[in-house]
Amino acid sequence: MSALELRPWKLAFKKGWDRHFKKFDKATQQRILKKLNQMKQPLQARGLKASKAVVEEAGQNRIAFYQNEEKHQKEIHFVGNHKQYEKWYKEQ
């Protein structure tokens, strides 16, 4: 693989990542699953202040994850709406 070739990210899911996700309606779940699939692409995401976590938005919902550059993997830690995300962030 050349230095300029971009590799897709692998996704890993931390236990409990879907605590809120399971309660969403099917349309919201589909929107989030589509975003998770897009996250495999080698695109830049925005980091959080004072945290190693990175966040992506899927409509009104948030996906928080950590990037492992060595494994080329994104570990999904949280999926939920904005208020659930704020609570999760404060607990970190």
Tens of pLDDT, residue by residue over 8-63, are 899 999 999 999 999 999 999 999 999 999 999 876 665 555 568 888 999 999 99
- Measured between alpha carbons, how far is 11 from 8 in angstroms, rounded to an integer? 10
The superfamily in CATH containing domain 11-91 is RelE-like (3.30.2310.20)
Residue 1 has a pLDDT of: 46
One-letter amino acid at 63 equals I
Flag the least confident range among 34-38, 68-72, 79-83: 68-72
pLDDT band at 4 (very low <50, low <70, confident <90, very high): very low
Task: State residue 6's pLDDT score.
Answer: 76
Q: What angle do CA 10, 12, 51 make, to 5 degrees?
A: 100
Give the pLDDT of residue 21: 97
Strand partners of residue 73: 10, 68
